[in-house]
Amino acid sequence: MQRSLHKKIGIASLIMISSVFLSRLTGLLREIFIASAGGTGGDVDAYQLAFLLPEILNHVVATGFLSITFIPIFHQYLVRDMEEEGWRTFSLILTVFTFILAALIATACVCANPLVGLVAPGIHDPSTKALAVRMTRIILPAQAFFFAGGLFMAVQFSKERFLLPALAPLIYNLGIIMGGILLGPWIGIEGFAWGVLFGALVGSFFVQWIGARRVGMSLTVNLNVSHPDLRRFLFLSVPLMIGLTMTFSTEFFFRFFGSYMPEGTVAALNYGLRVMLILVGLFGQAVGTASYPFMSRLVAEGRLDEMNRLLNRTLCYLSLVIPLSVLFIVLRHEVIFILFQRNQFDAAATEVTSHLLGFLLIGAFAFSAQTVVVRGYYAMQDTLFPAIFGTTAVLLSIPVYLLGIKWLGSAGVPLGVSLSSILQVTVLYALWNRRSKNQDSPNVYRHVGKMILLSVFLWAALEGFRRIILSGLDPWTLQGAVFTGISLGVLFLILLYLAGKMLRIEEIREVLAEPMRRMRQRRSK
């Protein structure tokens, strides 16, 4: 693979990793503010349930997949030096879908009451449902900004511009926080819903419109529904619109099944999921987003072997999520206590949330890997098979959720999320290897297996150290929680570094070499 391509992917990945880190940080700050304002009460349940209809609408128009479906079409014109025609196609898709989305949003707002009852049938408290309906109507219009902004970001990715798209989630999260701070004293948790709308307007629409203008956007009203590119876009998008992806099903199922659980379960599941997604975002999402335009180009140029090498190498690095998940599992109480326990978020909420977080972390690597593996199919402009596979897998996972709930209560929901994600990514990668003749895949399996065994050892060592050496610390004090976290974190890094050297795990050595070198330099001084 050419050095210049490696360099471009590295720069893009650095930008996206920085973006995801900051967006996860602001997202965590957002959840801290929400937890402080409402804890795990019914108002926070209503706020989380208010996202059900908007997320379904977002999924129906495949907003989250615009970069995947539109980039190959736009790239085709850039490669053939026909950029003007590419902008006409851009205008056509934006115009047609804006009209469709506006009609769907208006209908959903009018019918919000019965629709919320349909997608969250477990709500029994009339006040919780009424609040969920009201906030649903506030959040729904934001989907139009997400759709337009998604197209604006897609053309920036096509031109290998990543900076302004990287700002979108940061501004969105800050908008939610400001909504809660400024409006919360008057309208309570509903202030965060208005923050969603404002954050989407500024971060996903206005800033991305500026970015699209900078890369030469030519926008006109175009309703030529007979254009072949519109049919091609629909051909690529329809499977994603009607299919059930891992991410969508997770967001839907934890709210749907959580609505049947005791009050506060939906809120606790959401807090735990956001913590778990920090790992997923920093690794899978950032790397997948940054590498996809280059994967698409490698496929377009017929360099499938190089793309497989890129995919395999990426998965080996992503396997670092496995030991990191173990660290989070051991420290799950301290993490939730330090982040959330204040004001309305009490000790009982910490117990429930940390318990559920442990089950969610089991599937963190699978979530990270899936964001990369599925892009191999998308790079080949195959959205149909992943949609069929994902939908089948999601439907087959429903009994897992039901059995988990029956045996474990509310913990069955996060366990179902993790088991479903592990099964999906394992089978999806195996099928990709067969399809693409990925000859180096056995090394990936061996590497992941080695990381799992290492992680079991790390878990035993960390738990043993905690129970024997740190047993005298009070985990319900800030001092005790912080000292426990730092102690186990340092021990984890030392053990991971030594294991990387002894087992010759290159990925561990490369990631930890620089921090360890600096630690030795400071010690020598």
Angle at 514 between CA 504 and CA 275, to 5 degrees: 85
- From the CB of residue 83, how many other CB atoms can be counted at a distance below 10 Å? 16
Closest alpha carbon to 161 in 170, 169, 152, 172: 152
Closest alpha carbon to 425 in 252, 245, 283: 245
How many alpha carbons fall within 13 Å on the CB side of residue 82? 11
How many alpha carbons fall within 13 Å on the CB side of residue 332? 26
Pair 86, 151: CB distance under 8 Å: no
In angstroms, the CA 246 to CA 248 distance is 6
- CA distances (Å), origin 369, targets 249, 268, 280, 303, 378: 17, 25, 9, 22, 15
DSSP string, 19-79: HHHHHHHHHHHHHHHHHHHHTTSHHHHHHHHTTHHHHHHHHHTTGGGHHHHHHHHHHHHHH
Q: 326: part of which helix (H) or strand (E)? A: helix 321-330
Closest alpha carbon to 385 in 189, 236, 220, 209: 236
Closest alpha carbon to 309 in 378, 376, 377, 383: 376
How many alpha carbons fall within 13 Å on the CB side of residue 1? 21
- From the CB of residue 99, how many other CB atoms can be counted at a distance below 10 Å? 10
pLDDT value of residue 1? 43
In angstroms, the CA 137 to CA 54 distance is 9
In angstroms, the CA 342 to CA 4 distance is 49
Region 432-448: what's the mean pLDDT?
A: 92
How many alpha carbons fall within 13 Å on the CB side of residue 303? 14
345: three-class secondary structure by DSSP:
strand
pLDDT tens-digit readout, 248-263: 788 888 888 888 888 8
One-letter amino acid at 89 equals T
pLDDT value of residue 8? 58
Region 116-126: what's the mean pLDDT?
A: 87
The shares of helix, strand and coil residues in the chain, as percent rounded to the nearest 5, are 85, 0, 15
How many alpha carbons fall within 13 Å on the CB side of residue 402? 6
One-letter amino acid at 104 equals L
pLDDT value of residue 53? 92
Pair 170, 203: CB distance under 8 Å: yes
Pair 233, 70: CB distance under 8 Å: yes
In angstroms, the CA 231 to CA 69 distance is 12
Residue whose entry in the numeric block shows the structure tokens 């997604």: 277
Structure tokens at 344: 């309305």
In angstroms, the CA 187 to CA 175 distance is 16
Is 188 a residue whose pLDDT tops 70? yes
pLDDT value of residue 70? 82
Residue whose entry in the numeric block shows the structure tokens 């019918």: 111
Pair 140, 105: CB distance under 8 Å: yes
In angstroms, the CA 32 to CA 29 distance is 5
In angstroms, the CA 475 to CA 492 distance is 19
pLDDT band for position 356 (cuts 50, 70, 90): very high
pLDDT value of residue 379? 80
Pair 218, 87: CB distance under 8 Å: yes
In angstroms, the CA 518 to CA 514 distance is 6
pLDDT band for position 289 (cuts 50, 70, 90): low
- From the CB of residue 265, how many other CB atoms can be counted at a distance below 10 Å? 24
pLDDT value of residue 65? 67
Closest alpha carbon to 149 in 204, 211, 67, 91: 204
Predicted structure pTM score: 0.79
Region 462-472: what's the mean pLDDT?
A: 92
Q: How high is the mean pLDDT of the chain?
A: 86
pLDDT tens-digit readout, 308-341: 888 888 888 889 899 999 999 999 999 999 999 9
CB-neighbour burial class of residue 422 (10 A; exposed 0-12, middle 13-18, buried 19+) = middle
Is 146 a residue whose pLDDT tops 90? yes
342: three-class secondary structure by DSSP:
strand
pLDDT value of residue 135? 97
- From the CB of residue 185, how many other CB atoms can be counted at a distance below 10 Å? 10
pLDDT value of residue 485? 95
